[in-house]
Amino acid sequence: MRLNLREIIEIPGGSVPFKCELETEGLDFPSIKEYVSRPIAEGRVFNEAGILTLEGTLTAEMTCYCDRCGAEFDSVKEMPLSVTIVEENTADNPELFLLEGDEIDLDEILSTCFVLDMETKFLCSEDCKGLCSTCGKNLNLGPCECRKPIDPRFAVLEQLLDK
């Protein structure tokens, strides 16, 4: 979606509201099974002393796989948006987005912000215990029946436990 900013470029204090649904193509992550609905962004672009700033929120409802235990869980990601828009990016700063004529490519800006803000690990809960490395049981459902590995230096003493 292209957003025309012609009416606020030369008017300090002016603003243009926006509401946009993002396409989920290109927002693929291995831990995201599916998007419950398309991510939605709302906010405004305003001119403050000649500097164009995009502010708002982006919300995405997803079904994810836990990176520790593999269980499916629902997640809602709500992220604040604050982006500076410039006519020319002379410093090659990745946090600045270019004004293309009198417009911005809202899809590109929002997709980039979404990808850069994505978590590196998706967890069903902060205290997820994961899977047993020996038998593969989900440790969130209770302890497994595996014996803890014994230090090889005590292997001779282990024989006494077996008797």
For residue 15, the model assigns a pLDDT of 83
Is pLDDT above 80 for 32?
Answer: yes
- Read off the pLDDT of each residue in 8-12 and give the average, rounded to a whole number: 77
Half-sphere exposure of residue 39: CA atoms within 13 angstroms, side-chain side: 28
For 149, the 3-state DSSP assignment is coil
| Residue with more model confidence, 104 or 21 | 21
- How distant, in Å, are the alpha carbons of 31, 131, 141 from that of 128? 15, 9, 10
pLDDT confidence tier of residue 78, bands split at 50, 70 and 90: very high
